[in-house]
Chains A and B, each alone.
Chain A
């Protein structure tokens, strides 16, 4: 498989996963929580790199801790976020020669993703797809009307934890493609664009996933054509899509 094929598959898979999970992020206004989870992967990834362990194991461990901290609501989000960053920076600085790796964690390295990264993205997509297929209706209802869902006897807190877990898995899989900072825009822009185009909750997630995949592929094409950094090009494609959807829908409603 050529590096470009790998990058294409990675961008499309990660884009679609971010788009689908992004519907939950946008509807539940979880942007700050998602930012915190994304930054929480950073110290784990750095530590794993220093110790020579699998990056996903380290990043996954610190993200899992953050998911629990968020779910328990005992800590300020901003402190978890800033603390994760500081911890990652301190660990990275203590071990010399990791500045290239640190940059890659923060902004991704789409053009040099490995087969293992693709596999991780595919697993995350499968997990997210399965969860959204099985519990999608309940998750959407919880996002729109928590009280109604609780009144029908659904475990609302467990669903909250599920959403945070899905965001965590998605962020983890997206690190090689777009990094921990940029992933936030991929988690919101395609979903917000889909929200503009349809009011039908059943179509929303599918459309957002499609928009995410389109952002990934278009971004990669831009990156290839104009020699831009891969991850940022994907993010800008997603934001352009949102701007386009916003403009077109406001024109057509007039």
Chain B
């Protein structure tokens, strides 16, 4: 379970997976408490055209910036959603953005291969620059949470109280949406647009089954997500190299997390 990571590309993949897992695990707790899972899902699809444009304009290095621009545009449009319910606005936005991305990518000769790469990521080919970008995004996100975590929690549990204390709850909502977008952008290259939602949603949901205490919730969520990054990569490697079954690394990481959630769910059902 350790030997594969002696290879440089596997070591980089491991660093990326652990970093992303810890980041998404922490932000995921806030996603869970504010019920933003659908926002995370919609944003993960909405960044897709940005990923494609970034890639067409500047190659692999442009993907992150394109995703960031698309996430920003989607977040702005979401706040201007007129009289649509948030649920409907998210569904429409997600479909429209994704459709634009597919139309752009369908113009390329290597259409289906490109599409699946964008959707499912390529964690085994992250380079030092990708890692540095992820580390910066993680620093920004975790720094923001360290500064505003208490206010965000107050708004999550008791919105009227937060408003009565003079906090601007709409601004706090916007901060959290931006944080979700940051995690999605960081995760896009590694696990692809469709699996990034898994990192944001599953570890926090599993941790919530096991504990009510916030500090423990954050620790279990981040720890299990980072651990799943290592376990998923090791599993994918073993299956591919030792058993000739090529497993997608990103998908395997999320599958490990889902198995962990299932175990936690069974445990809570058995205890009750």
The stretch of A25-33, A118-126, A135-143 in contact with B is A25-33
Chosen A-B contacts, 20 in total, with CB atoms closer than 8 Å, are A25-B91, A31-B91, A79-B202, A82-B198, A83-B202, A85-B194, A85-B197, A85-B198, A86-B252, A87-B251, A89-B254, A93-B247, A94-B247, A96-B246, A99-B116, A102-B116, A185-B98, A192-B92, A228-B103, A235-B95
Contact, CB under 8 Å: A233 / B103: yes
Question: Most chain-A Cβ atoms within 10 A of its Cβ — which of B41, B119, B257?
Answer: B41
- Interface size class on chain A is 35 or more
What CA separation (Å) do A78 and B38 show in the bound complex? Answer: 7
The stretch of B61-69, B79-87, B154-162 in contact with A is B79-87
Contact, CB under 8 Å: B245 / A94: yes
In the complex formed, the residue of B with least CB distance to A102 is: B116
Which 8 residue pairs across A and B have the least CB separation, nearest first?
A185-B95, A89-B251, A82-B198, A78-B37, A232-B99, A93-B248, A78-B201, A86-B254
What CA separation (Å) do A75 and B197 show in the bound complex? Answer: 16
What CA separation (Å) do A235 and B94 show in the bound complex? Answer: 10
Contact, CB under 8 Å: B87 / A29: yes
A29 CB contact (under 8 Å) in B85, B115, B198, B206: B85
Contact, CB under 8 Å: A236 / B100: yes
Fill in one digit per residue for B96-124: 1 if any A CB lies within 8 Å of its CB, else 0: 10111011001000011101100110000
B202 CB contact (under 8 Å) in A26, A78, A89, A187: A78
B70: CB under 8 A from chain A? no
Tell me the B214-269 residues at the A interface (CB within 8 Å): 239, 245-248, 250-252, 254-255, 257-258, 261, 265
Instruction: Give the A-B contact count at a CB cut-off of 8 A.
Output: 183
Q: A88: shortest Cβ distance to chain B, in Å?
A: 8
A48: CB under 8 A from chain B? no
What CA separation (Å) do A212 and B116 show in the bound complex? Answer: 28
What CA separation (Å) do A159 and B142 show in the bound complex? Answer: 44
Interface residues of A (CB under 8 A from B): 25-26, 29-32, 34-35, 74-79, 81-83, 85-90, 92-94, 96, 99-100, 102-103, 106-107, 181-189, 192, 228-229, 231-233, 235-236, 238-239, 242, 246, 250
Contact, CB under 8 Å: B112 / A100: yes
